[in-house]
């Protein structure tokens, strides 16, 4: 029951940048998780994860149950999706997705019975080996619930030449407004610790660290009480965005730097979100795959900001309605937090596995003045704020002028797109937006040159180094 | 539920309320006490210098932007700040038109020619001052004379020096000390400090109310307080002024002169706190800032003791401004994950 408090030395923090935006957590911090029923129809996209989209495993008219597989894929980097209600498949068609664009989705008519799929069984992970745990985690459709939605079984499959010595559970929740992880840590601490044990067993790690920002002392205490195991530590980190970014977390906790273009496993670490650990534990206990998640519905224009347990496939509109609707027409609706979340054009998108929050900002909060001609006054704030120690203002300038070689020379692909540079910029230069555009273009160029090289049978030249 | 239309843009969706205008206004606020006090000490002539310099700087900005059909950015207050900073480096009895031309040159030649805010290589206020310096040196020197005849009393030391060397023009404390230490003009001969003339007698007036010198040199204490305000509000990085002044003080002590006097006297404090920290003309990142500040200290020290002029701050800053692109090219921070090892096979 060790509470190890890591207070970062000031100098180190300075070097690692970050910003401290107003957190607005108090809107929902004290609101217990409230389960809401699914609406009469749920819309379940067949791509809710980073990787290969699923193909439908059901057809129109099929009867499905809670936990029935709706879609799956053969590929390794993919995760199946399951029905969150029982009822009939009424449509399989492209539908607006909260991550943008339209995605093939299964629409299930809710019969209101919530009949579980037959054959769902609790699993005893203590009697399973790593491979069996990974297969089970994949079968449960588990993905990173922090927002990136990377398939969890992939994270739990490090190659044997990279031994894992530490599993980190990320409970930093450094994005303003969001409280879904915080509420889970308060209400389901035991499950989170159980999930940690399962992950540690799967990757064979001797040590686990649960990392929480020090603005959540109650969560730190709850987690420390639940972690009776001496191999599991709870660390309280200084509150600073983006403390919860994987690479930042690893550096601040373990003083290790993930090599450019590398993964946490390359430095012996696996990082998972506390919400993911909680969901894994629940799955092993009940056998029910990932069909619901905690969503913080918040913002100045939400009548009753809440933390909801939402069946996957519930529309944003229904989730907002469950919180009393809007007090005034919002200027912007965001999936996730204000720093990295995705702006929505409609509320007719479903809650997906990656939906940690639904944030509605007022029109006033949305209208900040943007410059007609962005300039850089070289104040250096973005350089100080960049947790990756990049030079954001140069990257933005090079992106603007399409200087691809210079972008690669300054390691543009190491940008984690946290947005600190843009948040802190006094001239309101859209720095990270320019960088994202450049990264996408560089990826396209690399794909093109790889393809050309393949056709010629010669090694690729253009496009530089490892983007993930 | 009527939701209406939403703004769609990429993250981040919130911004820090800081703006360029706010930053400039904070610097102006930090300079306000010393400016007001300068007018109080030097009288209405100081006000003429201030107003004509600021008007010149803003006119220059306006003229170029109008002429080039660009958006006029006077409301970011940067031209106003340039004019104010220039005025604070000028003596109180400078003819008003000289200050006006200085202000015009500052923004036209020092800033707009390079493309405006954020693009200039040299500190605009100091470009303006350099032009005044080389064009009207006699006016500059004469500007101090009348000050010396103001109601504020000379210290005994100052009187003694002026009498001893029989200066035709008014002498700033730095100039007085230059004369004292110069073997060819020293009233007491090579190497020796004249009896009864001690740099330490200048401490108090330099710190609190200094009637001999430029407007901005009127009180070191007010400059330091302004600097503390800017560091606390995170407008400037403490490293540049502290390392700059520290380097000058240490080198001065090594040379055998009074480090406190040479810190308080002349343009060192206003230069180190308000000019060397100018964003556009100083390095972007930490390591570069340290090298830049060290360079400023060394060049200032060299110019003060081994050039014809008593002061070296202006040319030191302009010189190091020119070095900034080089510094920024070679001293960028090492980015995360570059040059680190994977832990392959290590158990």
A343–B9: do the CB atoms touch at under 8 Å? yes
Nearest chain B residue to A368 by CA distance is B15
What average pLDDT does this structure show over A441-452? 92
Structure tokens of A140? 């449960």
Which of these ranges, A29-33, A249-253, A339-343, has the smallest mean pLDDT? Answer: A249-253
Q: Mark yes or no for CB contact B12/A373 under 8 Å.
A: no
Partners of residue A338 in chain B, C-beta under 8 Å: 11-14
How confident is the model over A31-43, as a mean pLDDT? 96
Task: Return d(Cα A411, Cα A254) in angstroms, integer.
Answer: 23
Pair B203, B241 in one domain: no
The 10s digit of each residue's pLDDT in B191-232 is 444 444 567 777 887 888 887 788 999 999 999 999 999 999
Nearest Cβ partner for A411 among B11, B71, B335 = B335
Contact A338 B336 (CB under 8 A): no
Whether B243 is covered by a domain: the verdict is: yes
Q: Is residue B218 part of a domain?
A: no
Please, where are the H alpha helices in A305-391? Answer: 316-321, 363-366, 381-385
Count contacts between A and B (CB, < 8 Å).
Answer: 186
Nearest CA in chain A to B235: A379
- In angstroms, the CA A403 to CA A109 distance is 51
Residue B265: pLDDT band (50, 70, 90) is confident
Long-range pairs for A154-162: beta carbons < 8 A, 24 or more residues apart? A154/A51, A154/A76, A154/A77, A155/A270, A155/A271, A155/A272, A156/A130, A156/A199, A156/A202, A156/A203, A156/A270, A158/A203, A158/A265, A158/A270, A159/A265, A161/B344, A161/B345, A162/A265, A162/A266, A162/A268, A162/B342, A162/B343, A162/B344, A162/B345
Model confidence at A12: pLDDT above 60: no
* Tokens linked to B258: 């009074």
| Interchain contact, A21 vs B14, CB within 8 Å | yes
How confident is the model at residue A286, as a pLDDT? Answer: 95
pLDDT of residue B186: 47
Beta-carbon separation of A410 and B335 below 8 A: yes
Q: Does position B2 have pLDDT exceeding 60, yes or no?
A: no
Q: What is the pLDDT of residue A204?
A: 94
Structure tokens at A40: 């009469």
More confident residue, B98 or B150: B98
Q: What is the pLDDT of residue B60?
A: 97
Cβ(A333)–Cβ(A347) below 8 Å: yes
Question: Which residue from A251, A343, A411 is facing B7, i.e. has the nearest CB?
Answer: A343
As a whole number of angstroms, the longest Cα–Cα distance in chain A is 64
- Enumerate residues 6+ apart whose C-beta is below 8 A from A221: A3
In this predicted model, what pLDDT tens digit does every residue of A223-269 receive, in sequence order?
999 998 899 999 998 889 999 999 999 998 998 999 998 999 999 99
Closest Cα in chain B, distance from residue A219 (Å): 26
Q: Cα(B186)–Cα(B188) distance, rounded to whole angstroms?
A: 5
pLDDT at A460 over 70: no
pTM of the model: 0.89
Domain membership of residue B85 (yes or no) is yes
Nearest to B280 among A261, A365, A377 (CB): A377
Nearest residue, CB atoms, B11 vs list A21, A165, A339: A339
Give me the mean pLDDT over the A437-448 stretch: 94
pLDDT of A152-164, one tens digit each? 999 999 998 999 9
Q: Kindly provide the ipTM of the predicted complex, given to two decimals.
A: 0.88
What mean pLDDT value characterizes chain A? 91
B308 and B252 inside one domain: yes
Residue closest to B103 by CA, chosen among B144, B149, B65, B62: B62
What pLDDT, on a 0 to 100 scale, did the predictor assign at position A14? 39
Structure tokens of B183?
């073997």
Give yes or no: residues B103 and B166 share one domain: no
What does the pLDDT read at residue B69?
92
Looking at A24-28, A413-417, B204-208, which range is the least confident one? B204-208
Same structural domain for residues B284 and B186?
Answer: no
Q: Tell me which residue range forms the domain holding B294.
A: 236-327
Q: Is the pLDDT of residue A145 over 90?
A: yes
Per-residue model confidence (pLDDT) at position A47:
95
Tell if the CB–CB gap between A163 and B340 is shorter than 8 Å. Answer: no
Same domain, B178 and B108: no
Mean pLDDT across the stretch A402-412? 94
Query: Does the pLDDT value for residue A36 go beyond 80?
Result: yes
Could you read off the pLDDT of A364-394 as tens digits, one per residue?
A: 888 776 766 678 999 999 999 999 999 999 9
Nearest-neighbour CA in chain B from A98: distance (Å): 12
Residue A170 β-bridge partners:
A211, A273
What's chain B's average pLDDT? 85
Q: What are phi and psi of A41, to 5 degrees?
A: -135, 135
The pLDDT of B325-329, averaged and rounded, is 93
Contacts of B344 in chain A (CB under 8 A): 161-162, 266
Are A144 and A272 in contact by the 8 Å Cβ rule? The answer is yes
Q: Give the pLDDT confidence of B122-147 residue by residue, as tens digits.
A: 999 999 999 999 998 877 776 665 44
Nearest to A380 among B119, B284, B335 (CB): B284
More confident position, B269 or A17: B269
pLDDT at B210: 80
A247/B347 CB distance under 8 A: no
Q: Is B133 in the same domain as B157?
A: no
- Quick check: B14 and A365 CB within 8 A? yes
Which residues from B are below 8 Å from A419, CB to CB? Answer: 11-12
| Domain tally, chain B | 3
Strand ranges (E), A40-191 = 41-45, 55-56, 63-64, 69-72, 81-82, 87-96, 102-110, 166-171
State pLDDT tens for residues A71-115.
999 999 999 999 999 999 999 999 999 998 999 999 999 999 999
On chain A, the residues whose CB falls within 8 A of the CB of B240 are: none
Q: Which residues of B touch A316 (CB under 8 A)?
A: none
Q: Would the CB atoms of A424 and B18 count as touching at under 8 Å?
A: yes
B5 part of a folded domain: no
Contact A341, A334 (CB under 8 A): yes
Closest Cα in chain A to B20: A426
**Which residues in chain A are contacts of B20 at CB distance < 8 A?**
377, 426-427
Q: Which residue of B has its CA nearest to A162?
A: B344
Q: Which residue's structure tokens are 């919130």?
A: B14
Comparing CA positions, the residue from A244, A272, A58, A236 lying closest to residue A149 is A272
Q: What is the DSSP letter of A350?
A: B
How far is A351 from A314, CA to CA, in rounded Å? 5
Q: Which of B11, B279, B343 minimises the CB distance to A380?
A: B279
Sheet of A34-35: strand order equals: A34-35, A306-311, A292-298, A357-361, A332-335, A342-344
HEC string for A137-154: HHHCCCECCCCCCCEHHH
Q: Token pair of B91, please?
A: 């003596």
The domain locations on chain A are 3-31+121-286, 381-456
> In chain B, what's the furthest Cα-to-Cα distance?
93
Instruction: Give me the residues paired with residue A236 across strands.
Output: A5, A212
**Beta partners for residue A311, in sequence order:** A292
Query: Do B164 and B88 fall into the same domain?
Result: no
For residues B89 and A299, give the distance between their C-alpha atoms in angstroms, rounded to a whole number.
50
The residue of chain B with its CA nearest to that of A426 is: B19
Q: Hey, are the CB atoms on B18 and A426 less than 8 Å from each other?
A: yes
Across the interface, of A325, A378, A410, the residue whose CB is closest to B118 is A378
With 50 as the cut, is the pLDDT of residue B190 above it? no
Sequence-ordered strand ranges (E) for chain B? none
A462 pLDDT above the threshold of 60: no
CATH superfamily of A3-31+121-286: NADH-ubiquinone oxidoreductase 51kDa subunit (3.40.50.11540)
B232 CB-contact burial (10 Å; exposed 0-12 / middle 13-18 / buried 19+): exposed
Cα Rg, chain A, nearest whole Å = 22
């Amino acid at each position: 029951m060790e509470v190890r408090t890591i207070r970062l030395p000031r100098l180190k923090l300075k070097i690692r940048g970050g910003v401290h935006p107003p957190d607005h957590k108090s809107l929902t911090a004290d609101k217990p998780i409230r389960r809401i029923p699914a609406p009469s129809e749920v819309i379940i996209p067949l791509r809710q994860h980073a990787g290969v989209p699923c193909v439908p495993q059901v057809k129109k008219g099929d009867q499905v149950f809670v936990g029935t597989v709706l879609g799956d894929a053969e590929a390794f980097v993919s995760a199946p999706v399951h029905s969150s209600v029982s009822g009939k498949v009424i449509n399989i068609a492209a539908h607006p997705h909260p991550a943008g664009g339209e995605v093939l989705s299964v629409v299930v008519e809710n019969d209101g019975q919530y009949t579980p799929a037959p054959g769902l069984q609790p699993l005893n992970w203590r009697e399973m080996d790593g491979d069996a745990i990974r297969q089970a985690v994949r079968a449960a459709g588990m993905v990173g619930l922090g927002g990136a939605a990377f398939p969890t079984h992939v994270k739990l499959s490090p190659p044997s030449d990279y031994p894992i010595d530490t599993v980190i559970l990320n409970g930093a929740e450094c994005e303003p407004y969001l409280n879904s992880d915080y509420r889970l840590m308060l209400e389901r601490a035991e499950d989170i610790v159980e999930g940690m044990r399962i992950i540690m067993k799967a990757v064979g790690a001797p040590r686990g660290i649960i990392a929480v920002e020090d603005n959540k002392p109650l969560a730190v205490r709850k987690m420390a009480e639940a972690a009776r195991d001496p191999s599991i530590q709870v660390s309280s980190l200084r509150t600073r965005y983006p403390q919860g970014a994987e690479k930042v977390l690893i550096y601040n906790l373990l003083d290790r730097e993930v090599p450019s273009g590398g993964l946490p496993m390359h430095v012996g670490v696996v990082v998972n979100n506390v919400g993911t650990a909680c969901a894994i534990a629940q799955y092993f206990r009940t056998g029910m795959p990932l069909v619901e998640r905690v969503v913080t519905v918040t913002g100045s224009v939400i009548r009753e900001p809440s933390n909801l347990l939402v069946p996957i496939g519930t529309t944003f509109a229904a989730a907002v309605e469950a919180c009393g609707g809007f007090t005034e027409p919002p200027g912007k609706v965001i999936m996730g937090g204000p720093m990295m979340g995705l702006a929505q054009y409609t509320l007719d998108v479903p809650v997906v596995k990656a939906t940690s929050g639904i944030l509605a900002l007022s029109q006033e909060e949305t209208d900040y003045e943007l410059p007609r001609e962005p300039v850089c006054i070289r104040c250096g704030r973005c350089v100080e704020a960049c947790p990756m120690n990049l030079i954001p203002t140069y990257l933005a300038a090079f992106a603007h002028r399409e200087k691809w070689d210079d972008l690669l020379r300054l390691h543009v692909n190491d940008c984690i797109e946290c947005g600190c540079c843009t948040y802190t910029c006094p001239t309101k230069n859209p720095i990270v937006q320019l960088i994202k555009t450049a990264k996408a273009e560089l990826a396209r160029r690399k794909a093109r040159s790889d393809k050309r090289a393949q056709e010629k049978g010669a090694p690729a030249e253009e496009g530089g180094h490892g983007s993930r | 539920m009527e939701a209406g239309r939403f703004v769609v843009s990429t993250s981040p969706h919130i911004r820090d309320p800081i703006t360029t205008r706010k930053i400039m206004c904070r610097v102006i606020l930090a300079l306000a006490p010393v400016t007001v006090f300068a007018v109080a000490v030097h009288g209405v002539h100081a006000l003429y210098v201030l107003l004509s310099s600021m008007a010149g700087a803003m006119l220059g900005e306006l003229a170029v932007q109008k002429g080039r059909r660009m958006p006029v950015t006077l409301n970011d207050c940067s031209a106003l700040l340039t004019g104010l900073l220039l005025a604070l480096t000028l003596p109180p009895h400078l003819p008003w038109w000289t200050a006006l031309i200085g202000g015009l040159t500052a923004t036209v030649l020092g800033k707009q020619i390079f493309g405006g805010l954020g693009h200039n290589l040299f500190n605009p206020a100091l470009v303006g001052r350099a032009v005044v310096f080389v064009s009207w040196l006699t006016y500059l020197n004469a500007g101090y004379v009348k000050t010396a005849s103001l109601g504020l009393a000379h210290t005994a030391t100052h009187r003694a020096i002026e009498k001893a060397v029989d200066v035709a023009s008014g002498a700033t404390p730095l100039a007085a000390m230059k004369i004292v230490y110069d073997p060819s003009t020293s009233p007491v001969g090579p190497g020796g400090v004249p009896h009864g003339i001690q740099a330490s007698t200048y401490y108090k007036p330099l710190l609190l109310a200094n009637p001999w010198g430029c407007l901005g040199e009127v009180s070191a204490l007010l400059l330091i307080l302004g600097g503390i305000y800017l560091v606390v509000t995170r407008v400037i990085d403490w490293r540049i002024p502290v390392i700059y002044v520290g380097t000058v003080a240490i080198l001065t002590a090594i040379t055998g002169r009074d480090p406190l006097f040479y810190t308080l006297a002349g343009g060192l404090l206003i230069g180190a706190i308000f000019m060397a920290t100018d964003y556009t003309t100083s390095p972007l990142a930490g390591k570069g800032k340290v090298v830049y500040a060290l360079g400023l200290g060394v060049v200032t020290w060299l110019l003060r003791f081994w050039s014809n002029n008593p002061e070296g701050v202006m040319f030191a800053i302009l010189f190091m401004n020119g070095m900034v692109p080089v510094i920024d090219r070679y001293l960028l921070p090492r980015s995360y994950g570059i040059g680190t090892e994977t832990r392959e096979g290590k158990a």
